[in-house]
Structure 1
Amino acid sequence: ALALRDKRLLLVLDNFEQVVLAASQVADLLAMSSQVKALVTSRVPLNVTGEQEFAVPPLPLPVAGVNAVADLAACPTVALFVQRAQAVRADFVLHEANAVAVVEVCQRLDGLPLAIELAAARSKVLAPAALLARLTHGLRVLTGGSRDHPARLQTMQAAIAWSYDLLSTEHQILFRRLTVFAGSGSLDAAESIAIRGGDSGIDGLEGLSTLANNSLLRLSQHGDADARFTLLHTTREFGLEQLVASGEMAEMRQRHADWCVHLADEAWPAFAARINQVAWLDRIELEHDNMRAAITWLDQSGECDLALHLCGRLSWFWYLRGHLSEGRRWLEHALDRAPEAPDAVRARALLGLAMLAHWQGDDGRAIPCLEESLELSRKTGDDWGIMFAIGILGIVAEDAGEFDRAYPLQIEALALAQAMGDRSNAALCRTHLGITAWGLGDIDQAVLKWHEALETQRELGDSWAASVTLSYLGLAACNQNQLALAKAYLGESLSVRWAMRSQEEIAHGIANFAVLAASSGQHAHAARLFGAAEAERNVIGLTLQEPEQSTYAQAIEAARAGLSREMFAACWSAGRALGVEQAVADALATRIESPGRVDLRAKSPGPTTLTPRELEVLSLLVLGRTDREIATALFVSPRTAHGHVANIFAKLGVSTRTAAATTAIAAGIVVAPS
């Protein structure tokens, strides 16, 4: 310290976790030498005065949606993999055939440089796809580091063990128990499962903090939500091996499954009545990976009845958040595995399966499930199950366009809901009675029912059902040429759906705005939104039902009639490529410029007979690009670009670039730049 007192220098100390007990000596040295600063690398903090922590995160992973090989090669994780692969195999090249596998390897290894280096070294004998397949047991593959590296850096197992061995016995117990969590977990869950009754010997918050400080898990917090912990794949695999060796695996997996079942049971009342359900939907979304792990464990351990019970509880979440195919797979499997489950459990599971099957267009599966669920609910005296099954049978008939058959079922469901005092489901029945009235041609009665339903839904805070009712009021307003009112209804509906992340309803909400655009003569905008809605439906496996199917078909034909075949196809394709977030923004930005009625079945050509190339030019023109800039962007000559601009002016009936931009945005040919 005396030798450094008058020096001005940076003191670098590497791998300080090996001698962390000497941290106070470093602090004393710095206190005596004001011109000396220390840069310390360590797997654990020094916990001394003046210390400023900078976490070293894993390398960035490729951005979702980036598929071009050149762009992927620029990603640090991929670049590191390629560099290390070429060190052992000089002819290794990243190309279209192996790029996806390389990206998945990097993702599976969480961007950890050491893990990526060890994996890439296997490229001498394994192609990326074969390497990826072996990473199910990654620690067996991630070996063979350079002999000139310390032993702890020659295998991933040794690197993790180095941190694990620094822990106290109590913290080792906590760490290995936490590996039963999939994805991430909360402090509350950790205390309920890994520290139940204090049998690990430590406090939950202190324990998680210590594990984070030792780089064995990561803590993250978003907004005002409680912090959550996450284990990286390789770290979790190491911990699971320790858990198996301890003999605690079965007990911890069962504790974890029991906790998931309890959470789903807590959420169910909010789902059944749809009151304050958004917070519960978000909570279950956070725990979805854990729910999957719990169902798997219950199935594997022979607790098939409980697995079926859990699947039944999750069915509404799977429906609203767009997990239709996954939910069906779980429910079908669980029903097959638990043929003797209690009637009430099977009834709820069959009801959930029926909903998911119906909204995927499989009424051949949905109707028998509904009928069996109804029979079991009557047998057990479950009034809610009886009411809801009858209500869904009415919706199935309604969606098939069989409105005469739907009406008495919906009336019966309404009477049952009222008898139970279930105001939220009674209001939902009124919404569907309105849809049936619309299908039967009585629009006035439909609007009356919708307003009755909406009043109750707003009072109760049933925002999801209100969004459904608002969407039909919006479509009815389009039909009656009340376009400003239609936009208000549809805007509120889609905003609620987006906030709830209700995937099915978001797809419908985008399509509803396409109807509005077609109703106001914005054919190109309508075609784009219909393309975006189709893409979103395809993502979740959703099929169209009546009366939306007929309403959308009319609007699509109106848009098709108002555009050339090439332009319609180009706009539809552009919509499919938008992405759901941009599609929602574009839908909500729809402008109502035309006060006159536009018949959805009219063959109105309008000014939008632009060619696909002219549409590209117009899009750049709206952004303020000059002819020369447009030419550069489209790889054409300035003269050709000028010719396209002149043709656009002629077709739009304008003489200036400002007028062309204004007219194109107003007509929905292009979207106004943000």
Structure 2
Amino acid sequence: MDRQPGTIRTPDQRLRIFVSSTLKELAAERVTARAAIERLHLAPVMFELGARPHPPRDLYRAYLAQSDVFVGLYWERYGWVAPGEEVSGLADEYLLAPRSMPKLIYIKESAHREPRLVELLDRIRTDDMASFKYFTEPAEVGEYVEADLAILLAERFALGQVTTVADVDEATTARSGLPAPLTELIGRATELDTVESLLRDPAVRLVTLVGAGGIGKSRLAIAAASHVADAFSGGVCFVDLAPVHDETAVLATIAGALGVRDTGDGSLEEKLVVAIRDRRVLLVLDNFEQVVDSAPRLAALLVSSPGLTVLVTSRTRLRVSAERSFEVGPLRLPVPGRPTTAEHVLAAPSVALFTERARAVKPDFQITDANASAVASLVTRLDGVPLALELAAAKVRLLTPAAMLERLDRLLPFLSGGLRDLPDRQQTLRKTIEWSTQMLGEDEKQLLATLGVFEGGFSLEAAEAVYSPGRGTDTLSVLGTLVDNSLVRQEDRVARSYFSQLVTVREFAREQLEATGRLAEVSELHAEYFSRLGQQAERSLEGPTQREWMSRLADDNANLRATVLYFLSTGDVDRAARFCWTLYVYWWVGGRLGEVRTWMTRVLEADPPVSGFTRAVALYFTRAIGFWEEPAGQVLPGLVESAELFRAEGATSGQALALVSVALARLASDVPDMQGAEDALETSLDLFRKAEDNWGQAMVLVALGRTALLSGNVPAALSRFRGSLALAEEEQDELSETIALHHLGVALAFQGDMDNARTAFESSLTKSARLRHDDGIAYGLEGLIVTAVSSGDIQRAGVLTGAAQKVREETGLYNAPTFAFYQPWVDGVLAGEGAGVFESARAAGRALSLSQAVDYALPPPLAPVNKQSANA
């Protein structure tokens, strides 16, 4: 992709998706399209994201010239035709798109289109590079754009077609677990080659990129990992350890990134080994310096997993066996003594990086003979440290390089000390950050310090909650100034803006917060905000907004952890327990109950003894997730006590939920107590009904149906499962629907109704795949094993069995008691003549990826109806 110097550039180096539509008419659709594009780690190119100093027509024409895919959204309006123009901007965007550019067209249903828009759409339909679909709701646009772009990328942007270093990063990142690079990698060709060679060497298992903060370790690691992704058939996984300060949480963070669930049902380290032992995996661990004491655990993981290679970024070496460290230094500076012409200065990577970042905020910025000397002196003054260069470049909109250099020379010698124990390059960066803040207003300085309380990132609402109380300040405007100065970064998460800080900036901000004596006050505001968020989420996690809230809470997971740890550190175990209880569904569905159990163990050990409700919660979290690991005699008393404490506190739903676990523990005993379990479940169901908790009722009905199946009463089980499904559908809770559908399929299979059982299993699997619910996917695959065996398709049954086993192993969902009803059907095959075919197919199934397994299991979708033809 040829990028001409001096053109208006988007502030990234990813594959660009140009979105064309009228702005106000399709505002909601533009938001969902943008979110879909960013989920694929691509760059949305949209007018509202553009550089304001340029005329609108010049802006979209320049952006369009740099784009790779055209997405058109159309409804009723043709758009405004500017004076002196013959077509609207909407039509102009389509007409200017190169004929060879792929075009994805989405048309909103309407019977009232403007005539010129009808003409434009008729023309688009004759374009053999355009595909088009009709939609009615904004959400459909997001689903269509994400699916169509994924297919298009697979077909058109194969790695072999990409030629530049930046483009290799783009294409590979879109297919791996790496974050999409927001910027072009500049001046690191030699380092990149060296690190790539190390990672491709089978004898090298652990590579550590060592260097000062802001030196560019993370960016180099992402580029190197993307270059070698083809060598790791098991995938590349990026883990940001910046928000992790407790070494005990390191494995949980790695597990979460790998998709391994920390359900508390066994050693997490063992689960990680099982998940990756047969895979060729590259694990990229970013910002390891603050958890360096956990390095021995990492070394142990490498010993147990022969296919694992680890790439670490850290300010210090890990000092474990097999480590190969690589020092990442600053970018090369202009050669002293050479003429300071634009040509000579631009040859230095430090100047090239400064220029690139400057153009992101001032697109017409150029290195000229007139400013070359000032730029050369500026980058030299900043020691070629990439983050320092970026912070300085952000000032280009307001200051010339000469003015910037003058201010820098005047201020740096007088900035606060206390940095003599830091390496020279780290001192340079810290002083540059201080210099950047010297140019801020008082509101911006205070907000920057306040933001140091966040872990991982934050929403605008969260920033307002910790900064704005009693101030009467427009937080958004102040935050915008910090974004403009590269001290805060912004991205979109679906329809929400989300913000983050680089580790070094966040450390500086937190130090400022401590220095002002406000850390305790702001930490309390932080905890109060997330406590309120938990209360909002509690019921929202049990209905149609579950996916939205799971995603939102996952974004804030580091802050949720920080909230619990804050409560525990201040001895406020009651608030810790209540907060964890409000987010029960999030911890459960997200596979995070193992970490919650650790926290609640600390609650039970608190002195003095805790309140009744707090003890009930802590007993539940520490007992309910382990009833299949330990004898019922060890966990059952705690669960019974938990239920009784909830009852005494008037917490009806809590009592009901605890009774479900009491029942399951009774069933897990060496001698199952069927009657005791059923009594507990009936009481639980009655309590959930009194609380008008449909989600709870749906869960209990599934448990009662399973009890009926264990007793051999299939008709009773069918009734329970259908009742659960009806409640889930009423609540529009798709997760509960998948659970009910799967169990309904099981009962139908036991009844011999394989056709309807297959329909139930396929529906459950479809919903689970849409929810990205790994446990549900495994259950769906397992259900279809039975229908395959029943139809005599041994090969299909084998493939599904291997795929299901792989899903469970790679997600750590194999210790908890799975409802493995399919095993008798598999045992029958293994005892017969088809055993060899089955085992060969099972091996083939284990080679499938998750998406391949789902595609294999489900029937092909029906071809969409062409509504234009249907209405003709």
Query: Which TM class, normalised by the smaller chain length?
Result: 0.5 to 0.7
User: What displacement does 1:393 show?
Assistant: 1.5
Letter in 2 for 1:264: G
Matched, 1:48 2:53: yes
Partner of residue 853 from structure 2, selected from 560, 577, 583? 583
Residues in 2 aligned to 1:240 and 1:57: alpha-carbon distance in whole angstroms: 34
Which of 1 and 2 has greater Rg?
A: 1
Structure 2 distance, partners of 1:307, 1:239, is: 26
Deviation per CA, 1:248-279, whole angstroms, max 9, x where unpaired?
323222221221111112222345x6675443
* One-letter code aligned to 2:548: A
Aligned residue in 2 for 1:616 = none
Q: Does 1:379 align with 2:655?
A: no
Counterpart selection for 1:83 from 190, 196, 200 = 190
CA contact (8 A) 1:217 1:229 kept: yes
- 1: distance between equivalents of 2:764 and 2:214? 37
1:120-131 equivalences in 2 (<5 Å): none
Indicate the residue corresponding to 1:652 in structure 2.
none
Does the 8 Å CA contact 1:78/1:102 hold for their aligned counterparts?
no
CA distance in 2 between counterparts of 1:447 and 1:465 reads: 16
Cα distance change on mapping 1:164 and 1:361 into 2, 3 Å:
farther
Tell me, in whole angstroms, the C-alpha distance in 2 between the residues paired with 1:324 and 1:362. Answer: 20
Partner of 2:397: none
What is the match of residue 256 of structure 2?
A: none
User: Which one of 501, 506, 518 corresponds to residue 789 of structure 2?
Assistant: 518
Opposite residue 395 of structure 1, the aligned amino acid is: L
Contact between 1:311 and 1:334, CA under 8 Å: does it hold in 2? no
| CA shift for structure 1 position 543 | 4.0
Deviation at 1:419, TM superposition (A): 4.0
Asked whether the 8 Å contact 2:795–2:841 carries over to 1, the reply is yes
Residue deviations 1:94-133 (CA, integer Å, cap 9, x gap): 634545544899999674469999x99x9xxxx9989637
| Equivalent residue number for residue 198 of structure 1 | 471
Paired AA for residue 560 in structure 2: M
Structure 2 counterpart of 1:228, from 498, 503, 516: 498
Structure 2 counterpart of 1:430, from 701, 704, 714: 701
Distance 2:760 2:7 in 1: 63
* Residue pair 2:764, 2:776 contacting (<8 A) in 1 also: no
Aligned equivalents of 2:605, 2:783: Cα separation in 1: 39
Q: How many residues align?
A: 531
Question: CA 1:113/1:449 → structure 2, altered by over 3 Å: closer, same or farther?
Answer: closer
Deviations 1:129-166 (A, max 9, x none): 89637289xxxx98777676522234343554454444
Residues 567/351 of structure 1: CA separation in 2 closer, same or farther (3 Å cut): same
CA contact (8 A) 1:528 1:574 kept: yes
* Structure with higher helix content: 1
- Any conservation in 2 of the 1:221–1:228 contact (CA below 8 Å)? yes
Letter in 2 for 1:48: P
- Distance across 2 between alignment mates of 1:77 and 1:359: 51
CA distance in 2, matches of 1:174, 1:246: 12
Instruction: Give the one of 540, 547, 555 matched to 1:286.
Output: 555
Output aligned runs, 1:392-541, within 5 Å.
392-398=661-667, 402-541=673-812
Compute the displacement of 1:49 (Å): 3.8
Q: For 1:159-238, list aligned pairs within 5 A.
A: 160-161=433-434, 163-198=436-471, 202-223=473-494, 225-238=495-508
Shift of 1:191: 0.8
CA distance in 1, matches of 2:718, 2:538: 31
CA distance in 1, matches of 2:563, 2:203: 36
TM-score by length of 1: 0.66
Residue 624 (structure 1) aligns with: none
Is 1:314 equivalent to 2:571 in the alignment?
no
Q: Do the aligned partners of residues 245 and 424 (structure 1) sit closer, same or farther apart at CA in structure 2, a change above 3 Å counting?
A: closer
Instruction: Write the distance in 2 (CA, Å) between the matches of 1:505 and 1:336.
Output: 35
What residue ranges of structure 1 are gaps of 5+ in the alignment? Answer: 1-8, 14-44, 592-674
Instruction: Tell me what 2:534 maps to.
Output: 264
| Aligned counterparts of 1:461 and 1:93: Cα–Cα separation in 2 | 47
Distance 1:374 1:144, change over 3 A: same
Q: Percent identity, aligned pairs only?
A: 25
The match for 2:296 is none
One-letter amino acid of the structure 1 residue matched with residue 381 of structure 2: A
The 8 Å contact of residues 58 and 113 in structure 1, kept in 2 or not, is answered as no
Amino acid at match of 2:614: V
- Structure 1 residue 528: deviation in Å? 2.8
CA contact 1:180–1:256 (8 Å) conserved in 2 = yes
Letter matched to residue 254 of structure 1: E
C-alpha change, 1:547 and 1:328, in structure 2 (3 Å) is closer
Secondary structure in 1 aligned to 2:535?
helix
Q: SS of the residue aligned with 2:314? A: helix
RMSD: 4.6
Supply the AA of the counterpart residue of 2:191.
R
The 8 Å contact of residues 581 and 617 in structure 2, kept in 1 or not, is answered as yes
CA distance in 1, matches of 2:175, 2:635: 35
2:799–2:845 contact (8 Å) kept in structure 1:
yes
For residues 168 and 278 of structure 1, the distance between their equivalents in structure 2, rounded to whole angstroms, comes to: 40
SS at match of 2:499: strand
What's the counterpart of residue 554 of structure 1? 824
**What is residue 96 of structure 2 aligned with on the other side?**
none
Distance in 2 between the 1:375 and 1:490 partners? 37
Would the aligned equivalents of 1:527 and 1:559 in 2 still touch at CA under 8 Å? Answer: no
Secondary structure of the residue aligned to 2:605 is helix
Q: Is the 8 A contact 1:270 1:276 kept in 2?
A: yes
Following superposition, the deviation at residue 486 of structure 1 comes to 1.4
Contact 2:217 2:328 in 1 (8 A): no
1:222-270 deviations in whole A, cap 9, x for unaligned? 44x1211122333323333333333332322222122111111222234
Q: Give, in angstroms, the shift of residue 540 of structure 1.
A: 4.4
Determine the C-alpha separation between the residues in 1 that align with 2:633 and 2:438.
Answer: 58
Greater alpha carbon shift after TM alignment, 449-458 vs 225-234:
449-458
Match status 1:151 vs 2:381: yes
Q: TM-score, normalised to structure 2's length?
A: 0.53
Long gaps (5+) in structure 2: 9-49, 67-164, 225-285, 290-298, 300-309, 319-326, 335-378, 386-424, 862-872
AA in 1 matched with 2:201: H
